[in-house]
Each structure stands twice: as C-alpha cells, then as structure tokens.
Amino acid sequence: MGDVSLTPLSEVAEVTVGFVGSMTREYVDEGIPFLRSLNVRPYRIEMADIKYIGNEFHTRIAKSKVLPGDVVMVRTGKPGQAAVVPKWLGEANCSDLIVIRPGPDLNNEWLAYFLNGMAAHAIAGQLVGAVQQHFNVKSTKELLLPLPPRETQNAIAEVLGALDDKLAANEQVLSRTRELFAAMWQRAIAEDDSTSVPLSSLARFVNGRAYTKNATGTGRVVVRIAELNSGLGASTVYNEIDVPDDNIARPGDLLFAWSGSLTVARWHLPEAIVNQHIFKVLPLDGQPRWVVEQALLSKLSEFRNVAADKATTMGHIQRRHLDEPVCVPSSAQVTLVGPAMQALSDQIDAYESENFALAHTRDQLLPLLMSGKVTVKEAETEIADLV
C-alpha cells in the first residue's frame, strides 16, 4: 500500500486467548454465550450449536471475556478465520480462540477482513505450528499489519461491508424461503391423496468417482463433502480431467452426500466435478426437481440414523436404502402447488447465485484493496451494480 509501514498487532490492539480447560459440567441452558471455533466463520458469528455458561463461571474466567467489537480468530482446525463480535450478542466468553481488542488506530472490521484475506494467510505459515496446526499467541501479537490511516481502513471496511450486508440480507430471505418451501411440502403430503413410493423411483442416483487422485491443481472444482458443507476453501481440489456428463455438477443440480455428514444440497457454483461418496441426483420421468429434493430431505434424518449405526470410521447408507418408501404428493397436488413451489425453488436459485457473485467479488477485491492495487473509489464503482 505504497508507503504504508508495517505495524505489530500488539501496538494497536490487546491480544489474549480464550479459556482452555474442561467445559463438560459448565454448560447451562441459558446464560452467557460461550463461543467456540465452530461458531467463528469468516466475517460472521454462527449461532448454531452455541453453548452458554453461568455468570459465576463467566466471572471466574474473566480473562477470556469477549465484548462487542472484539475480533475473535480461530487458532485450531481452520486457523485464521476471524469475525467481529456483533453488538446483538452482548458480553460473551470463549474457549480456545484468539481475542483481539482493537485500539483507536485500528478498525475492527478492517482487521477481520485482513485476517480472513489472502494478505494474512500469506503470513500464516509463519504463525501456524507444523505439528499441532494452531496459531501461536505470541507470534500473533507480533503479526505485522500493513496499516493504512484509520480513514482508509474505515473506507475499505465500508466497501467490503456493503457486500457482506447484502449477503446477510439475502441469507435471511433464503432462510424464510426454505421454511415456506418445507411448510408447503408438508401441507401437500398431508392431503388424503398423497402416496408412498420408493425413493429410487423418483430419481437416478449417480455416484461420483475418485477424482482427487493426481489432481492437476487447476481446472474445475472437485466437489467433496467438505465443499457441500462449507463451500470452497484452501483445501479445495481442482482438476482438469475429463469426466462423464453424469459426474459433472452444474448450477442447480441436486447432490446428496451419502456418507460422513450426509448432506442434501443444490450446487450453485460454476461447473464442477462430483467426487466419490456423493450422488448426483437426476429426476426421473419428468419429476420436478423440488419433489425429488423435498422427498430426499424428508428421508435425511432416517438415513443419518442408519449411518450412525455403522461400526466404521465413516457412517454411510447403502443403495438398498434408496429403495425404501417415501411419502410424496399426488399428481393432482403436484399440479396444484407446482407453480408456487417452482417459484420458490427459482427464488432460492437466484439468491444463491447472487450470493456467489457477492462473495466472489468481495474475495477478489479484498487483497487488491489491502495492497493498494485498487482504490476505494474504484472498488465502489465495481460493486455498484451488486449492492
């Protein structure tokens, strides 16, 4: 960033680490939010599976207290992921996370973008232990920031934040749309003329293959269970190999991971390659995709129970389980509710595609803004049509 000097993080922020110790007996149903690594996603706090602790224990481990505006960063698992603690969370506490409390010369949102971006991960190799794969707190304090003036930090954070605000708004719409989608399905199959059919009669389930072997590192994404659950990341595999059309995932295609976490998902990213342990689900006989998707989702809990009973390292279902019956609406109900269900399905596709464009633009602009290769004014012009 031109003549910007490098500033140690410890000079512009307090850096501490969260509580390390047994928590089994400390969790309560209601109380002080207790953040763990799984609650820290890039740019946001995820409240799913949040734990709570009592006020007495919170006071006892005050050194790991977290306040709104603090930046929390993952140390282990996915080191470097960071998010700003939102105001609505209030005072909280945390486990083995790095807690950064910025001073007046450091914009917390700018810092979170920096830590999540390529600029920080270029330095991550110096901070992550080779054996335990975690950030060293001492080295984190010594992390050198290419710190621009506070006004520039604010402007960069505002530009990137506009994209994330739009992403968050879209996620709220998507959540409500999926809830309505599921509710309409439940009403449709509650009718007296609903029927039970083998799941395998609704679609063809094509298994992926071992396409990560000898991957070239360029070309199309190889879709593994990790990509279905968490999206693209540093470990994502790319391959230029030619594969059968049935093993290609295109935007809107339905995928079903039949082992591990067992996930049903639509693929909304550019054309990719379906890896082993994932079915590409192809509707049969003109079945609407939404019928197949909802029927498969309705069996998911049952399939997960089957997988959990497997005495293996990775639970899974077998093809015979796809022949089990599932309740679906009658042809008359499909005709009746079809237009509304298809409209909801199309809306999900549209918002997911827009979210990909928003996240892609943010991730492309982030290192360019941090390095000064793109100005804030140029970035504002770039995102004008998106936000």
Q: Which one is predicted more confidently, 255 or 1?
A: 255
Amino acid 123: pLDDT:
47
Query: How much is the average pLDDT of 197-204?
Result: 97
**270 pLDDT higher than 60:** yes
Confidence of residue 39 (pLDDT cuts 50, 70, 90): very high
**140 pLDDT higher than 90:** no
Confidence of residue 139 (pLDDT cuts 50, 70, 90): confident
Query: How much is the average pLDDT of 298-309?
Result: 90
Confidence of residue 24 (pLDDT cuts 50, 70, 90): confident
Query: How much is the average pLDDT of 381-386?
Result: 92
Sign of CA dihedral 42, 47, 52, 58: positive
Confidence of residue 312 (pLDDT cuts 50, 70, 90): low
Q: Which one is predicted more confidently, 133 or 289?
A: 289
Amino acid 134: pLDDT:
62
Amino acid 310: pLDDT:
64
**2 pLDDT higher than 70:** no
**239 pLDDT higher than 50:** yes
Amino acid 130: pLDDT:
44
Amino acid 387: pLDDT:
86
Q: Which one is predicted more confidently, 127 or 38?
A: 38
Q: Could you tell me the pTM of the whole model?
A: 0.83
Rounded distance between C-alpha atoms, residue 102 and residue 70, angstroms: 7
Confidence of residue 124 (pLDDT cuts 50, 70, 90): very low
Distances (CA, A) of 350 to 173, 354, 356: 11, 6, 10
The angle that helices 118-127 and 331-371 make with each other, rounded to 10 degrees, is 70
The angle that helices 331-371 and 150-189 make with each other, rounded to 10 degrees, is 170
Amino acid 358: pLDDT:
94
The residues near 53 (Cβ < 8 Å, ≥ 6 apart) are 23, 26, 27, 28, 31, 32, 34, 93
The percentage of residues in the chain with a pLDDT greater than 90, rounded to a whole number, is: 78
Rounded distance between C-alpha atoms, residue 11 and residue 5, angstroms: 13
Confidence of residue 152 (pLDDT cuts 50, 70, 90): very high
Complete domains list, the chain, with CATH = 8-145 (3.90.220.20), 195-328 (3.90.220.20)
Amino acid 231: pLDDT:
84
**121 pLDDT higher than 60:** no
DSSP result, 123-146? HHHHHB-TTT-BB-HHHHHTPEEE
Cα Rg of the chain (Å, integer): 23
Q: What rounded mean pLDDT belongs to the chain?
A: 91
**77 pLDDT higher than 80:** no
Task: Render pLDDT for 333-379 as a digit per residue (tens, 0 to 9).
Answer: 999 999 999 999 999 999 999 999 999 999 999 999 998 999 999 99
Candidate from 223-227, 250-254, 301-305, 314-318 with smallest mean pLDDT: 314-318
